[in-house]
Structure 1
Amino acid sequence: MTPRTGPDTGRIVHGAGDDGVPLHVVVEGSGPVCVLSAGLAMAWFDWDAVAALLVAAGRTVVRFDRPGHGLSGPARTPAGAAGEARRIAGLLDALGLPGPVTVAGHSIAGFHAEAFARLYPERTAALVLLDSSVEEAPRAVLPAALRTGAARALGRAVTAAGLPAALGPQVRRATVRASRTGGSDPAARELVRRCYRTGRVWRGALLENAGYPDAAAELPALRRTHPLAAPVTVLAGHDGSDGRGARRWLARQAALADRLGARFEVAEPAGHLVMLDRPDQVARAVRTAARGS
């Protein structure tokens, strides 16, 4: 069942991906196009502050929910890097926005955004990776079919037990608080309930997580055969601490920037949800990426 939308949440676009899942999309503003794709289990409204700043700066902002996320239709298969790149291209086609666009990917969506920039260089003005997932030597411990089957079974069990309705919004709120350097979840209570009380979102997150090793493994091959033509910015979140884990994460992000020939920038203080902690810096990175400034 495709969730209904309203004038305050956007619209549903059909036929954008290989799997035919209806996508919820919000398009705002005018001017050069920016595409914003959030991380695992996040939704379009997590970009609200960044989108407002970009629209005010004269940009067209496209925010969408991947299958099983936000208000999009249920996920049918795990998300792959190339498949999600094609989804972005199909969505832009459906919206009549051929490009070139600045594509920004947060966390796991960094895989998808990089794949888009490599597979569609003529449609890419710039690539921005926001605290992106990094896998230096990606490998899968378990076969994809086993991981997918387990994710589907767990999703069905969680839904049947009523956990999304009982705990979904609270889990969302707790996860957001733990992923920021300070502050609570700024999302509207009604929207959080509308999305996170559904088994559709829990199942979508589990399925996408199951496909994480495969999405990561696609990138080395793409890097060998499809060079980047657009300028790249890697923006890493740092909470300001001097802990070993924080230092190692920054080093990995800096190494990713070196590997991609990217401009490297640190958002501080910021947790993993850098678009919530430092929306001004994220908007500036997206706005200036195509100029390489």
Structure 2
Amino acid sequence: MTASAARFLRIGGTPLHVRTEGTGPVCLLTGGLGSSWFDWDLVVPFLAPYRTVVRFDRPGYGLSAPAPATRTGGPTLTDEAERIRAVLDALGLREPCTVAGHSLAGFHVEAFARLHPNRTAGLVLLDGSSEPAPRPLPAPALRDAAARAAAGAATALAVPYLLGPAVRRLVARASTVRREDLAPAPLVRHCYRTGRGLRALLRENTAYLDQAADLAGLRRAAPLPDGLPVTVLAADDGCRTSRTEDWLGRQQSLAALLGADFRTTAPAGHLVMFDRPDAVASAVLDTR
């Protein structure tokens, strides 16, 4: 597989936008809360000469269709790990794969590595979410219904259409040391004006602590394979504030918990793939 290919794959009944580029061993990139496929655009050129790169939009994000509502609540950790497996299977990529997750998606790729050890060649957490002692919140179905209702009401008032791209740009600027959103403006407008994107974001945010608690349980029940290369790459904005020091400390603790290679890259904000795409690519390439 050498050329860039975009396609839609029906995964669990939901059409997902999937992109494959490059050649060589497979790596999969998946972004954090509210991310779209183009947030990896600066990283892919560093990887494609050496890896077959897979990236996809989770339901509701980017160009993917929204996930149907369920009676049990928002997306679960197992749902996300199985989605990664199903995307790879649908592409016919069954060899062991390096999985890299940014922010919230760090939960997803770690769960994939624990649930599918024979399919995992390496694990990379990029400024990954970390919750030292998470507890699930009660009434997941009710919370998910409230998130869907809030998104529906906002969409009826045209809030995503009017404010979605501007809010995306503000958040991106605040998450990079360069204080700019490097994503293409036409794609930002196209993807962040939709109610489905807001709905996906609210549902994932509502399920965040539930997924963190599920991962804590999975860590006890399903150890990572012996010898699996694991890297934790933390973004260091270069400011010696208590907030930065606390975040780097949490990232270092996460690396110690996983027996991972701990790296920092500076200067970089939380959207480390914008500020230091070379460091992100190196973390992926060094896993095998």
TM range, normalised to the smaller chain?
A: over 0.9
Offset from partner CA, 1:218-269 (integer Å, 9 cap, x none): 1122111211112110001110111111101100100000000000000111
Alignment of 1:258-277 (within 5 A): 258-277=256-275
- Which of 56, 63, 73 is the matching residue for 1:64? 56
Distance 1:172 1:39 in 2: 13
Unaligned runs of 5+ residues in structure 1 are: 1-6
Q: TM-score, normalised by structure 2?
A: 0.94
- Which of 18, 32, 39 is the matching residue for 1:25? 18
2:247 corresponds in structure 1 to 249
How many corresponding residue pairs? Answer: 280
- Letter paired with 1:133: S
Q: Shift of the alpha carbon at 1:73?
A: 0.7
Identity within the alignment, %: 56
- Which of 189, 197, 208 is the matching residue for 2:193? 197
Which range moves more in the overlay, 187-196 or 95-104? Answer: 187-196
Offset from partner CA, 1:166-193 (integer Å, 9 cap, x none): 1111111111001111141111111111
- Letter paired with 2:141: A
- Which of 218, 230, 233 is the matching residue for 1:232? 230
- Which of 89, 111, 121 is the matching residue for 1:125? 121
- Letter paired with 1:39: G
- Which of 53, 57, 66 is the matching residue for 1:74? 66
Q: Shift of the alpha carbon at 1:75?
A: 2.7
Q: Shift of the alpha carbon at 1:162?
A: 0.3
1:4 corresponds in structure 2 to none
Q: TM-score, normalised by structure 1?
A: 0.93
Q: Shift of the alpha carbon at 1:107?
A: 0.5
Unaligned runs of 5+ residues in structure 2 are: none
Distance 2:254 2:183 in 1: 31
Is residue 2:43 matched to residue 1:45? Answer: no
Is residue 2:83 matched to residue 1:92? Answer: no
Which range moves more in the overlay, 234-243 or 140-149? Answer: 140-149
Distance 2:231 2:210 in 1: 24
Distance 1:8 1:207 in 2: 31
**After TM superposition, what 4+ stretches of structure 1 lie above 4 angstroms from structure 2?**
none
Distance 1:239 1:147 in 2: 34
Distance 1:144 1:84 in 2: 16
Distance 2:134 2:179 in 1: 34
- Which of 137, 140, 143 is the matching residue for 1:144? 140
Please report the RMSD computed on the Cα atoms of aligned residues, expressed in angstroms.
1.4
Contact 2:102 2:128 survives alignment (8 Å) = yes
Is residue 2:147 matched to residue 1:164? Answer: no
Distance 1:289 1:111 in 2: 18
